[in-house]
């Protein structure tokens, strides 16, 4: 057998072919990087975030203009110094005058540059954080079904990448003002100094514009490709790091290395290509600069020789030419930034526009902590999509202090029922009452405070054990937290952690076992001290020792509270005061364990086929046909 395996692996391996089913890393280009250059709707939405900083923006633009103005003046002052002081008859007095003006101009330049850079930098940062804050706050309110549909990674790229490109956009748009001013300032100054020479010098400008217009789209493709291959290779590296154990245990190192080498090679080539595009402009710009200077020297020089031009003007021209191409270069770069920003802005507004389904009613009242703790479903019909109800006309009541177990196969509507109690969604028909009040008439905050929820997957946050158990109850004392942990039986393992209650948990509580995380989430629910407990029992099995601890903790948690439990384990179900069996969104049986067993209905059937756990129905129902299938395949 082993020999056969070896053969199967080797014969194809040796022919040097690339394995047909092997890839490393993954890359999905799901976002268009460039949008339209200008999108009025997007701009107006973003403007709303800039508006609070209107004054700063005005100051910034003014500073940019002053800054550019002073830069433009420097060649003119040099010209005056030369023409009036050195060559003309003005002598030292004229020179000193020019130096004084120069000193004043650079002082203003210093101030303007300081103001411009700090105001632009700070405002762009502040706007960035504001946009992010608005999006984050909005995501706290949008419907959960949106959150279920949307990958966290996608939202994170909105909150980070897209927000960052808006910041870049704000910074460059202010700087663009400066570049445009500089460009026109230089053109104006040259024409003003000498109209004819100015025109001749500027003859090279259109050439550069045309070259860049042809160059830009191609170069951008090359730059994007380089950027893209970066994320591809880095993605493959990240996969190799995260999955190193799987890679080693299946001996894929060599295959993966060969595949990675291809990606790294592609990355290298893409970067070299991008570098060629970036560099091809350098000799063009330098040659055009050279031509412009040659024109000034030949034409301007002859004019100076012929006394029709002052030598200072020629010097000023030479200075202007050296700055000539900078604004054109940065303006064309800013064009790409604009496009990227529009695409990002589009995506940002999409997030900001996600509808909020569940809101507090205008006259919502606060649910008093003294309410009786009853939960009632009255003829509830609910579905995520209209026409596809997941709960149909469900009615039942959980009396104060009672524990009711919800049982049923996957897709029977158990989890939806649980979400409705907390008003994660609104019912389509009927109503849900907590403490005798329709949940839609209560504030979400007060409702949330009275209903504690334990989810199937224990979810912990980065932070200490103490902070996790406390969570929103920041006023809970250390003693309260310890008491809760002791009650659920978590105290002993917490104390065994390096820093006890102050131990920092790893990502998602990674340094704890599943059972331990569950116990912590129980302790957290206990500290929340709500009247009603809604709990989805975990399906994944933990070791028997922890299992028993969890059962005990559960009993304690339910003591004195109204409990609505989605139960999977027999012990939990048997311990419940009442059992509600759901199937296809309908309530099909109700009663305690003994009554339901006596009924000999679906519950009794389930009970009899299950061993130590109460597993889902379809596995039982589907048994027959899956066996058929296996039979037909073998």
Partner 1 sequence: MSDSSSAATLRRLATAARRERVGWGRGVSTLTRITGIALQTPWQAAIAIVSTLVAAVLQLLIPVLLGRAVDQTQVVVGSGSGAEAAQAALLTTAMLLLACSVFRGIFTTLQNYYSESVGHNVGYSIRLAYYRKIQNLSFSFHDRVHSGDLITLGMLDLEGVRMFFSTGLVRLVLLSILIGIGGYLLLTTDLVLGLVALSFVPFVAWRSSVAQLRLRATWLELQERLSVLSRVMEENLAGIRVVRAFAARAHELGKFATASTSALELAFARVGIRVRNTSAMTLSFFMAMGLVLWVGGTKVIAGEISVGTLTSFLTFMTILQMPVRQLGMLVNSFARASTCGDRIFTLLDLEVSVEDAPDAKPLELTEGTLRFDGVDFSYPETVDRQTLRGITFEARRGETVGIVGPPGSGKSTIAHLVPRFYDVTGGSISLDGQDIRSVTLRSLRTSVAVVQQDVFLFTTSIENNVAYGDPWAKEPRIERASDSAQLHRYIMGLPAGYQTVVGERGSSLSGGQRQRLSIARTLLLKPAVLIFDDSTAALDAHTEQRIRTAMQRQANERVTIIIAHRLSSLMHADQILFLEGGVVVERGTHEELLELGGRYRALYDLQVRPGEDADVEVAV
Residues 407-426 that bind partner 1 (CB under 8 A): 422, 424
CA–CA dist 347, 352 (Å, integer): 9
Stretch that binds partner 1, among 56-64, 209-217, 427-435, 468-476 (CB under 8 A): 468-476
Residues 484-513 that bind partner 1 (CB under 8 A): 489, 492-493, 508, 513
Closest distance of CB 304 from partner 1, Å: 4
Stretch that binds partner 1, among 37-45, 200-208, 317-325, 599-607 (CB under 8 A): 317-325
Would you list the DSSP string of 582-633?
EETTEEEEEE-HHHHHHHTSHHHHHHHH-SSB---HHHHHTHHHHHHHHHHH
Single residue of 37, 156, 495, 598 touching partner 1 by CB under 8 A? 156
User: Distance of alpha carbon 330 from its chain centroid, rounded?
Assistant: 29
Tell me which residue has tokens 């920092």. Answer: 504
Closest distance of CB 609 from partner 1, Å: 9
Closest distance of CB 38 from partner 1, Å: 28
Single residue of 52, 91, 369, 560 touching partner 1 by CB under 8 A? 91
Q: Which residues contact 186 (CB under 8 A, 6 or more apart)?
A: 72, 320, 323, 324, 327
CA–CA dist 216, 332 (Å, integer): 8
Q: Which residues contact 262 (CB under 8 A, 6 or more apart)?
A: none
Integer-rounded Cα Rg, in Å, for the chain is 36
Does residue number 194 form part of the binding site for partner 1 (CB under 8 A)?
Answer: no
Does residue number 249 form part of the binding site for partner 1 (CB under 8 A)?
Answer: yes
Cβ closest to partner 1, residue 379 vs residue 477: 477
Single residue of 206, 630, 631, 632 touching partner 1 by CB under 8 A? 630
Does residue number 455 form part of the binding site for partner 1 (CB under 8 A)?
Answer: yes
Closest distance of CB 509 from partner 1, Å: 11
Cβ closest to partner 1, residue 202 vs residue 514: 514
Cβ closest to partner 1, residue 46 vs residue 538: 538
CA–CA dist 123, 74 (Å, integer): 29
CA–CA dist 478, 497 (Å, integer): 17
- Write phi, then psi, for 433 (nearest 5 degrees): -115, 135
Closest distance of CB 151 from partner 1, Å: 7
Cβ closest to partner 1, residue 437 vs residue 587: 437
Looking at the DSSP bridge assignments, the partners of residue 431 are 378
Cβ closest to partner 1, residue 54 vs residue 118: 118
Q: Beta-strand (E) ranges in 451-511? A: 451-454, 463-464, 504-505
User: Distance of alpha carbon 342 from its chain centroid, rounded?
Assistant: 17
Please provide the distance, in angstroms rounded to a whole number, between the alpha carbons at the two ends of the chain. 19
Residues 530-559 that bind partner 1 (CB under 8 A): 534, 539-549, 551
Cβ closest to partner 1, residue 342 vs residue 596: 596
Single residue of 383, 401, 448, 602 touching partner 1 by CB under 8 A? 448
Cβ closest to partner 1, residue 39 vs residue 480: 480
CA–CA dist 158, 307 (Å, integer): 64
Cβ closest to partner 1, residue 20 vs residue 362: 20
Does residue number 328 form part of the binding site for partner 1 (CB under 8 A)?
Answer: no
Does residue number 366 form part of the binding site for partner 1 (CB under 8 A)?
Answer: no
Q: Would the CA dihedral through 448, 371, 564, 439 be positive or negative?
A: negative
Residues 556-585 that bind partner 1 (CB under 8 A): 569-571, 574-575
Cβ closest to partner 1, residue 7 vs residue 37: 7
Does residue number 152 form part of the binding site for partner 1 (CB under 8 A)?
Answer: yes
Cβ closest to partner 1, residue 499 vs residue 623: 623
Residues 211-240 that bind partner 1 (CB under 8 A): 233-234, 237-240
Closest distance of CB 349 from partner 1, Å: 19
Determine how β-strand 437-438 pairs with β-strand 532-536: unpaired
Residues 13-72 that bind partner 1 (CB under 8 A): 13, 19-23, 25-26, 28
CA–CA dist 101, 523 (Å, integer): 74
Single residue of 49, 57, 72, 132 touching partner 1 by CB under 8 A? 132
Does residue number 297 form part of the binding site for partner 1 (CB under 8 A)?
Answer: yes
Single residue of 16, 40, 153, 217 touching partner 1 by CB under 8 A? 153
503-510 contacts: CB < 8 A, separation 24 or more?
503/464, 503/465, 504/462, 504/463, 504/464, 505/460, 505/461, 505/462, 505/463, 505/464, 505/465, 505/468, 506/462, 507/462, 508/459, 508/460, 509/458, 509/460, 509/468
CA–CA dist 634, 621 (Å, integer): 22
How many chain residues interact with partner 1 (CB under 8 A)?
A: 180
Single residue of 7, 203, 294, 621 touching partner 1 by CB under 8 A? 294
Q: Which two tokens stand for residue 146?
A: 């949106």
């Amino acid at each position: 057998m082993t020999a056969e395996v070896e053969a199967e692996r080797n014969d194809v391996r040796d022919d040097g072919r690339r394995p047909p089913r092997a890839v490393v890393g993954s890359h999905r280009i799901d976002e268009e990087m460039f949008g339209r250059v200008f999108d009025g709707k997007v701009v107006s939405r973003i403007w709303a975030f800039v508006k609070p900083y209107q004054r700063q923006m005005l100051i910034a633009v003014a500073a940019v203009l002053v800054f550019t103005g002073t830069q433009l003046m420097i060649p003119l002052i040099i010209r005056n110094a030369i023409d009036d002081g050195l060559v003309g008859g003005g002598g030292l007095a004229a020179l000193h005058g020019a130096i004084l003006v120069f000193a004043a101009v650079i002082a203003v330049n210093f101030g303007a540059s300081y103001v411009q850079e700090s105001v632009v930098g700070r405002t762009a940062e502040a706007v960035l954080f504001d946009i992010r804050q608005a999006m984050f706050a909005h995501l706290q309110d949008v419907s959960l079904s949106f959150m279920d549909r949307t990958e966290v990674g996608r939202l994170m790229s909105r909150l980070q990448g897209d927000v960052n490109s808006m910041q870049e956009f704000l910074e460059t748009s202010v700087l663009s003002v400066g570049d445009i001013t500089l460009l026109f300032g230089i053109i104006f100054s040259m024409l003003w100094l000498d109209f004819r020479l100015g025109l001749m010098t500027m003859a090279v400008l259109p050439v550069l514009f045309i070259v860049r217009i042809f160059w830009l789209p191609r170069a951008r493709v090359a730059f994007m490709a380089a950027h893209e291959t970066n994320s591809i290779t880095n993605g493959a590296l990240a996969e190799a790091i995260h999955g190193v154990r799987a890679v080693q245990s299946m001996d894929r190192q060599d295959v993966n290395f060969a595949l990675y080498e291809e990606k790294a090679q592609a990355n290298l080539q893409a970067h070299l290509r991008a570098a060629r595009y970036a560099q091809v402009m350098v000799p063009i710009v330098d040659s055009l600069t050279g031509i412009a200077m040659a024109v000034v020297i030949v034409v301007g020089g002859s004019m100076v020789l012929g006394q029709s031009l002052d030598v200072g003007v020629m010097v000023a021209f030479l200075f202007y030419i050296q700055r000539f191409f900078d604004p054109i270069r940065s303006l064309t770069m800013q064009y790409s930034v604009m496009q990227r920003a529009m695409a990002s802005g589009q995506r940002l507004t999409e997030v900001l526009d996600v509808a909020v389904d569940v809101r507090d009613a205008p006259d919502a009242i606060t649910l008093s902590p003294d309410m009786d703790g009853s939960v009632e479903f009255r003829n509830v019909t609910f579905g995520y999509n209209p026409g596809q109800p997941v709960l149909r006309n469900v009615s039942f009541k959980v009396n104060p202090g009672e524990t009711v177990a919800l049982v049923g196969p996957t897709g029977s509507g158990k989890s939806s029922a649980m979400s409705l109690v907390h008003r994660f969604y609104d019912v389509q028909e009927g109503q849900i009452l907590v403490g005798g009040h329709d949940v839609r008439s209560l504030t979400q905050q007060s409702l949330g405070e009275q209903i504690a929820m334990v989810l199937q997957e224990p979810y912990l946050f980065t932070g200490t054990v103490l902070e996790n158990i406390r969570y929103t109850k920041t006023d809970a004392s250390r003693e309260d937290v310890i008491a809760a942990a002791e009650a659920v039986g978590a105290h002993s393992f917490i104390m065994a952690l390096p820093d006890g209650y102050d131990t920092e948990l790893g990502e998602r509580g990674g340094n704890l076992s599943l059972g331990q995380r569950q116990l912590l989430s129980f302790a957290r629910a206990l500290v929340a001290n709500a009247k009603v407990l809604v709990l989805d029992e975990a399906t994944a099995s933990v070791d028997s020792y922890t299992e028993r601890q969890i059962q005990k903790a559960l009993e304690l948690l339910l003591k004195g509270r109204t409990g609505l439990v989605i139960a999977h384990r027999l012990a939990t179900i048997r311990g419940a005061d009442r059992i509600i069996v759901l199937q296809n969104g309908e309530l099909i049986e109700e009663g305690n364990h003994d009554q339901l067993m006596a009924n000999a209905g679906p519950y009794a059937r389930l009970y009899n086929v299950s061993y130590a756990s109460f597993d889902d129905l379809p596995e039982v129902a589907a048994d027959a046909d899956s066996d058929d299938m296996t039979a037909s395949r073998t």
